[in-house]
């Protein structure tokens, strides 16, 4: 790294730790008010290694802030009907504030139909069309965890977004598309002019070089190099990929969609991988669960 590098880290671990402290205090208040802690359930179908790691991290985070958590493991052979029945049971479970079905699901299952079966009042992932519609309209509701975690990260570090050009790379339903909406909203952070780039974008480098704020959620390891980034940009890397590395004890290391070593020296701010967006996604899920529990509490009180 050149000696002139002056970038600062958007440290998702530090930011999520601060958020989790606040969440823990509010969880204690919910417990005092209604006699039970916020309760999140996660459904994991099959045994995809990465999904298991993510779900276990979510359950652990619940314990750390004083939430109850339930992990429901279903075999990879689970049928669509069985999974929908499980979702309906969780919808009806009055002991539960919110739940998620970890994606991706095995190929024979229809994730859209499963998401549609979730009661929007318990949709703490913010993936249900009702949640996404509320987000687009600027109404109160559950925001998808990764995009809202990124907004919180930008807020935490006081990143100026008003009037800036934000380029989002990747148009997935759970990250890129909602991210583009949140950054264009009339709010702070927000008020950006947004370009949503994707796999059919012509001359991606020419587009990303125009970004004051570049958010990359393409799912392609090392897609973004130094020549694709404007000097002084803010870069948020949503990618997280395991690549073999025999020199490490674990046998692998984690890489983002951004080539950190070459891109960081051009940046004003950049997220590390790991320790950037990942911890913020989990903190946002906890925030949504707290909101679900608090909304219930409010309904009980009023």
Residues in contact with ligand GUN by the rule CB under 6 A: 100-103, 125, 145-146, 174, 281
Q: How far is the CB of 78 from ligand GUN (least distance, A)?
A: 16
Comparison of 212 and 257: residue with beta carbon closer to ligand GUN: 257
Write out the H or E segment, with its range, that includes residue 270: strand 267-270
Neighbours of 72 (CB within 10 A): 15
Q: What's the min distance (Å) between Cβ of 58 and ligand GUN?
A: 9
Output the six-digit token pair for 228.
């694709």
User: Minimum Å distance from CB 55 to ligand GUN?
Assistant: 8
Alpha carbon 234 to chain centroid, angstroms:
18
Residue closer to ligand GUN (CB basis): 270 or 282 = 282
Nearest to 284 by CA among 197, 154, 187: 154
In whole angstroms, the minimum distance from the beta carbon of 180 to ligand GUN comes to 17
Q: Which residue, 29 or 47, has its beta carbon nearer to ligand GUN?
A: 47
| CB of residue 284 to ligand GUN, shortest distance in Å | 9
Residue of 144, 97, 137, 147 lying closest to 119 (CA atoms):
97
Closest-approach residue to ligand GUN (CB): 103
Nearest to ligand GUN of 24, 103 (CB atom): 103
Nearest of 226, 193, 187, 222 to residue 209 by alpha carbon:
226
Closest C-alpha among 280, 244, 262, 33 to residue 147: 280
Please give the helix or strand (H or E) that residue 169 lies within, else none: strand 165-169
Please state the closest distance from residue 51 (CB atom) to ligand GUN, in A. 7
Is the omega angle on the peptide bond into residue 189 within 30 degrees of 0, that is, cis? yes
Strand order in the sheet with 39-45: 68-74, 39-45, 98-101
Nearer to ligand GUN, 103 or 207 (CB): 103
92, exposed or middle or buried, with CB in 10 Å at 0-12, 13-18, 19+?
exposed
Closest CA to 207 of 221, 190, 193: 193
Q: Which residues are catalytic?
A: 58, 102, 125
**Peptide bond preceding 259: is omega within 30 degrees of 0, i.e. cis?**
no
Q: Which is nearer to ligand GUN, 60 or 298 (CB)?
A: 60
The encoded tokens of residue 108 equal 């024979």
């Amino acid at each position: 790294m050149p000696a002139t590098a002056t970038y600062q880290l958007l440290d998702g671990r530090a930011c999520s730790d601060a958020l989790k402290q606040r969440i823990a205090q509010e969880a204690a208040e919910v417990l005092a008010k209604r006699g039970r802690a916020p309760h999140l359930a996660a459904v994991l179908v099959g045994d995809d290694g990465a999904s298991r790691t993510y779900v276990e991290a979510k359950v652990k985070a619940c314990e750390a802030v004083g939430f109850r958590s339930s992990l429901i493991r279903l075999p990879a052979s689970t049928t669509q009907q069985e999974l929908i029945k499980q979702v309906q049971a969780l919808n009806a479970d009055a002991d539960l504030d919110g739940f998620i079905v970890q994606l991706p699901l095995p190929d024979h299952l229809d994730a859209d139909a499963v998401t549609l079966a979730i009661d929007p009042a318990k949709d703490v992932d913010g993936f249900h069309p009702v949640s996404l519609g509320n987000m687009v309209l600027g109404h109160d509701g559950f925001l998808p965890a990764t995009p809202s975690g990124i907004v919180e990260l930008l807020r935490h570090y006081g990143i100026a977004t008003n009037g800036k050009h934000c380029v989002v790379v990747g148009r997935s339903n759970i990250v890129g598309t909602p991210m583009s909406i949140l950054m264009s909203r009339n709010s702070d952070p927000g008020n950006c002019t947004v370009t949503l780039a994707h796999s059919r974008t012509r001359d991606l480098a020419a587009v990303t070089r125009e970004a004051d704020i570049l958010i990359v959620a393409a799912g392609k390891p090392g897609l973004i190099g130094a020549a694709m980034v404007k000097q002084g940009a803010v870069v948020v890397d949503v990618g997280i990929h395991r690549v073999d590395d025999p020199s490490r004890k674990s046998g692998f290391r984690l890489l983002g969609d951004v080539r950190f070593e070459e891109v960081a020296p051009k940046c004003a701010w950049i997220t590390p991988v790991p320790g950037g967006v990942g911890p913020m996604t989990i903190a946002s899920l906890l925030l949504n669960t707290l909101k679900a529990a608090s909304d219930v509490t409010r309904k009980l009180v009023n």
